Structure 1
């Protein structure tokens, strides 16, 4: 299925149901917000955006209590970014400025149904996610959104949190210290691949002439992963629901456990992107 083109309120998005429900492009008044996916290249980065369900970031050895998930990042022995991004979604509803996608997954110990509504309009870009445990047993669930934002010279990032994690060479957390968050340009964030528990659900990315405000609610509003490699010039600011590898980090898990969903229980979250321009596009 080809990507869906949506537009409204100055926003334009290309949603790819066949590619895990990800986003191949996002623009505001004709200017890229996400690094656009090259023609023919599958989502996964460093471009576009994808969803992480039913866990965000990495699980060491694919371990989840008594369960073992497939290790899809063999170079560091982790199961990364969940199951939904590797499976297609179907279109449940479609309009010029909105789309609702749905997905049912049965893989390993997981049985779940997910629903994702994307709406573009004067309020900005709205992403509404709901995930329900359709299995017969309680399971740990989590979610996250992994955007690859553009990073032109002069980019600045600001958000508040309560902690900052240190991590090992595989980007798995090993400790956490009290931290107020981050505010600054590349001197503050360049080279990070770092998790911030206790995020307050608000982040701002300032580019020359415009400011993007990200507001998260529900399960997606408590944790933030920031990835800013020295090359290529991208900035990942990833709302998520839990600490990376939380089930295998008993000393750190209280800072951000996955949520145990009983059969029929639902995890929900919303992300809103709004743009303010001080210069004409």
Structure 2
């Protein structure tokens, strides 16, 4: 367990469990639903984890790289999908550590993916900065993707606001269908509850989560995380997932999804980089 603190912020990371966040808090107030002591950060609606070398779903685990079809492990057998990538189950190394910042890294060798992942978390009065780099350590260009899957607390009356150009429907297996124009989202429970699990493309990289007491979180994404956003808001679950991602679900297999958010073809020794700044606004006195 790795604990970082600065300017009222506290982040608790689990390097041996995919570098997941077990806790993120400001002034003692939990912003993520905490992972229970001894709990699995990859099971249940809590904490936050990284997704790579793809995000969300791959239909039947299928992906084509180098002119060859590969099958990733299907971990949603009832759906027949491979979900959320592979790095969240790996142990990560702590390469640098200070009271308010840390850099962690891991390596993935699962053909066709040979990757080096590096994550930095830094706390300051300005907020929390999360930056992730996914590098192609193989010998051929490979489709890559990365994302961050936070489970923010969601008391009733929480509002979400962001702008985007396209929203996808989803089929019974959670795969994207029927893209249509949208202005984005602005609203609370009546707006969020029907979303359940929706993908938005053409996202401008900014989102605000406003709590009933007037406090708020502002998310500012950049790099590969500017453009695509997944929102998971299951009714009555008390969580809100606002997930910056580098591509649309199953973009490796669906032309309509790829047209709005393709996986990045990353050349050997090149990298895919995403960053997210989270700002906190105090409730009014």
* TM-score, structure 1 as length reference: 0.97
Contact 1:191 1:227 (C-alpha < 8 Å) held by counterparts: no
Match of 2:252 in 1: 247
Which of 140, 144, 149 lines up with 2:143 in the alignment?
Answer: 140
Distance 2:231 2:208 in 1: 13
Residue 249 of structure 1 and its aligned partner are, at CA, apart by 0.6
Distance 2:89 2:194 in 1: 27
Distance 2:7 2:229 in 1: 27
Q: Does 2:265 match 1:260? A: yes
Q: Does 2:166 match 1:163? A: yes
Counting only pairs closer than 5 Å after superposition, residues 95-134 of structure 1 correspond to structure 2 as 95-134=98-137
Which of 153, 157, 163 lines up with 1:154 in the alignment?
Answer: 157
Contact 1:171 1:194 (C-alpha < 8 Å) held by counterparts: no
Residue 229 of structure 1 and its aligned partner are, at CA, apart by 0.7
Segments of structure 1 that go 5 or more residues without pairing to the other structure are none
Match of 2:28 in 1: 30
Distance 2:50 2:256 in 1: 27
Match of 2:279 in 1: 274
Distance 1:156 1:55 in 2: 29
Distance 2:253 2:284 in 1: 47
Match of 1:14 in 2: 12
Residue 191 of structure 1 and its aligned partner are, at CA, apart by 3.6
Contact 1:69 1:108 (C-alpha < 8 Å) held by counterparts: no
Residue 190 of structure 1 and its aligned partner are, at CA, apart by 1.0
Give CA deviations for 1:215-262 in whole Å, capped at 9, x if unaligned. 000001111111111132110010001010001111331111000011
Give CA deviations for 1:123-166 in whole Å, capped at 9, x if unaligned. 10000111110011111001110000000122000000000101
SS at match of 1:18: helix
Contact 2:136 2:266 (C-alpha < 8 Å) held by counterparts: yes
Counting only pairs closer than 5 Å after superposition, residues 32-47 of structure 1 correspond to structure 2 as 32-44=30-42, 45-47=44-46
Contact 2:133 2:274 (C-alpha < 8 Å) held by counterparts: yes
Counting only pairs closer than 5 Å after superposition, residues 214-253 of structure 1 correspond to structure 2 as 214-253=219-258
Distance 1:176 1:217 in 2: 23
Match of 2:202 in 1: 198
Contact 1:175 1:252 (C-alpha < 8 Å) held by counterparts: no
Give CA deviations for 1:87-144 in whole Å, capped at 9, x if unaligned. 0100000010001001111013110001100001111000011111001111100111
Distance 1:225 1:104 in 2: 26
Match of 1:68 in 2: 71
Pairwise CA RMSD: 0.9
Q: Does 2:58 match 1:89? A: no
Instruction: Kindly tell me the number of residue pairs found equivalent between the two proteins.
Output: 278
